[in-house]
Amino acid sequence: MTQINSAQPRHDWTLPEVEALFDLPFMELVFQAATVHRAWFDPSEMQISQLLSVKTGGCAENCGYCSQSAHFKTGLKAEKLMEPAVVIAKAKAARDGGAQRFCMGAAWRELKDRDLPKLAEMIGGVKALGMETCATLGMLTAEQAQQLKDAGLDYYNHNLDTGPDYYADVVTTRTYQERLDTLAHVRDAGMSTCCGGIVGMGEMRRDRAGLLHQLATLPAHPDSLPINGLVPISGTPLGDQILADDAKAIDSIEFVRTIAVARIVCPKAMVRLSAGREGMSRDLQALCFMAGANSIFVGGKLLTTPLPGQDEDSRLFQDLDLRPMAMTKAVLAPETVAAE
């Protein structure tokens, strides 16, 4: 049986080792993941984030899961980049509702220099509210990453989506290496990385292991690691595939396994239970938290897909004796938190 001898981060994981974690008996895997979690975090604390789509639809990418792609007819209307004052007002409302981090997402293949001044104003305004800032804006150059850092951006999200072997079944308009290059630019600029993927797209367990292996062998582990469950959207290739044959969707227990393995191989990351949470039972969410997830999105909507309402989340927190992570802990390095 594979045993975790240390909760210290490793960057030399092999794919067979990650696959062996997935193959552990379920109870043993969750126990080991929970043990690693407790080495770095208080298991009763949860980071609260909110995500706003600041530029919706019309994306040139052909990601097979995405309602915002211009390649698919999903009924989503393309919109222009929002004005900074509107974004900042929504961030204030999110903060007043308990969110600690505010994420801004734009449906672009890559960031254009002409949009940087508006984005810098948004970032600065959110930062002034005392919130952690995050953005996902597509591919970046090294210069753009530095400008975002200079504007005050704390985190940049750029997901790998899936393992390298399944990637071509998900998107063909951007290479895996281009995603890795953007992450390198973000790290080199001194920003924290937010990087994870999507499960339930028809991939196999080996592909999920491949995704986590990629994340665990990056030069620096993601500071935030979102695990998204596919929300099948009619009109998208992957959504239509799952809607036509739900046997290709991920099993709930397999989803928890993915959370647990993510916690073990990236022990210091905020493992975020992201898209798909609205369709999860309270029991499943509780299992995910037990297996090491310690971050969620709130606010009723994640870009274009639904999230549970605030009242529902409040009841879940109350029943599970969870509390929001203190802002000082949310922004401190995990080593500092563990040492307290």
Kindly report, residue by residue over 130-187, the tens digit of the pLDDT.
Answer: 899 999 999 999 999 999 999 999 999 999 999 999 999 998 998 999 999 999 999 9
Grade residue 327 by pLDDT with cuts at 50, 70 and 90.
low
Per cent of the chain over pLDDT 70 is 90
| CATH number where 174 lies | 3.20.20.70
Domain-embedded: residue 14: no
| Catalytic-residue membership of 266 | no
Catalytic one among 95, 101, 179, 194? 194
Task: Output the six-digit token pair for 201.
Answer: 């797209």
Of 340 and 257, which is predicted with more confidence? 257
Catalytic one among 95, 101, 134, 179? 134
| Catalytic-residue membership of 134 | yes
| Catalytic-residue membership of 103 | yes
Task: Output the six-digit token pair for 196.
Answer: 């994870």
How far apart are the C-alpha atoms of 118 and 84, rounded to whole Å?
6
Domain-embedded: residue 262: yes
Catalytic one among 103, 195, 266, 288? 103
Catalytic one among 63, 195, 266, 288? 63
Task: Output the six-digit token pair for 12.
Answer: 């030399």
How many CB atoms sit inside 10 A of residue 43's CB?
13
pTM: 0.88
Nearest to 167 by CA among 233, 214, 135: 214
Domain-embedded: residue 33: no
Domain-embedded: residue 139: yes
Residue at token pair 């040492």 = 339
Note the pLDDT of residue 14.
Answer: 96
How far apart are the C-alpha atoms of 101 and 103, rounded to whole Å?
6
Catalytic one among 66, 195, 266, 288? 66
Catalytic one among 59, 195, 266, 288? 59
Lowest mean pLDDT among 14-23, 273-282, 297-306, 330-339: 330-339
Domain-embedded: residue 155: yes
Domain-embedded: residue 6: no
Domain-embedded: residue 304: yes
Per-residue H/E/C for the chain: CCCCCCCCCCCCCCHHHHHHHHCCCHHHHHHHHHHHHHHHCCCCEEEEEEEEEEECCCECCCCCCCCCECCCCCCCCCCCCCCHHHHHHHHHHHHHCCCCEEEEEECCCECCHHHHHHHHHHHHHHHHCCCEEEEECCECCHHHHHHHHHHCCCEEECCCECCCCCHHHCCCCCCHHHHHHHHHHHHHCCCEEECCEEECCCCCHHHHHHHHHHHHCCCCCCCEEEEEECCCCCCCHHHHHHHHCHHHCCCHHHHHHHHHHHHHHCCCCEEEECCCHHHCCHHHHHHHHHCCCCEEEECCEECCEECCCHHHHHHHHHHCCCEECCHHHHHCCHHHHHHC
What domain range is 174 assigned to? Answer: 44-331
Task: Output the six-digit token pair for 218.
Answer: 């990056």
Predicted confidence (pLDDT) at residue 41 exceeds the cutoff of 90: yes
Lowest mean pLDDT among 26-35, 63-72, 152-161, 162-171: 63-72
Catalytic one among 101, 272, 277, 288? 272
Domain count, the chain: 1
| Cβ atoms 26, 253 nearer than 8 A | yes
Domain-embedded: residue 92: yes
Task: Output the six-digit token pair for 34.
Answer: 């929970």
Kindly report, residue by residue over 99-128, the tens digit of the pLDDT.
Answer: 888 999 888 888 899 999 999 999 999 999
Q: Which residues contact 165 (CB under 8 A, 6 or more apart)?
A: 206, 207, 210
